[in-house]
Amino acid sequence: MRSMEANKPVATDTAEVAKRLVCDHLKAGDLAVDATCGNGWDTQALAETVGPEGHVLAIDIQADAIDATRERLHAHQYLERVSLIQESHVHLADRLTEKPQAIMFNLGYLPGGDPSITTHCEETLQAIQRALACLSKNGLLSIVVYPGHDEGAKEAHVIDAWVTGLEDFRIFSYRRINSRAPAPYAWFIQQG
């Protein structure tokens, strides 16, 4: 995998692996979606990867997440490449006017924010299903799941059952198999 920043360590964290894999899938000029922009790390990486001729749609339900992402993008001069939308990821498909090459979901709660404000399995599954239907041919959808908290465990159960029942997609996962605690893991789903 290529490094996005000089002197950055090799990815071992699940979210970092997902981000790098999605960015490796993208090229300049692509459309990408960050369905849960959080503190803006994934949005920044997507904006850097698609370049000035590409575009990123970044969504989050929390104003704090949108503000943090805006600040990060402004600091790197990427604001013009990104549309920031404060609403639930369940509406992301309604915001698309073309098919994205990649869509990222990094579930759970806002790091550094209120852990009681979290993604919820019913809405998340609906958002993921609708997003998958919007992907371009050979597009990639990533889902980072955090089963270490109550709602995350519910999301993991629902998403795992749904993903393993999919047909006509290339599906793979990244997970740490020797963790004593419920460790985050990622699903990757690619259009055929």
Per-residue pLDDT reduced to its tens digit, 94-129:
999 999 999 999 999 888 888 888 999 899 999 999
Q: Which two tokens stand for residue 73?
A: 């993008």
Give how many domains the chain has, as a whole number. Answer: 1
In a domain, residue 8? The reply is no
Tell me the per-residue pLDDT of 21-34, one tens digit each, with 9 for 90 and over.
Answer: 999 999 999 999 99
Does residue 135 belong to any structural domain of this protein?
Answer: yes
pTM of the model: 0.91
Q: What is the pLDDT of residues 132-167, one digit of tens each?
A: 999 999 999 999 999 999 999 999 999 999 999 999
User: Residue 5 falls within a domain, yes or no?
Assistant: no
φ, ψ for residue 75, nearest 5 deg: -60, -30
For residue range 50-72, what is the model confidence (pLDDT) as tens digits? 999 999 999 999 999 999 999 99
CATH code for the domain of 21: 3.40.50.150
Strands, sheet with 55-60, edge to edge from the N-terminal-most edge strand = 82-86, 55-60, 31-34, 102-106, 140-145, 185-191, 169-175
* Domain annotation covers residue 9: no
Residue 128 maps to a domain = yes
> Does residue 1 lie within any of the structural domains?
no
Enclosing domain of residue 79? 14-191
User: Terminus-to-terminus CA distance in the chain, angstroms?
Assistant: 22
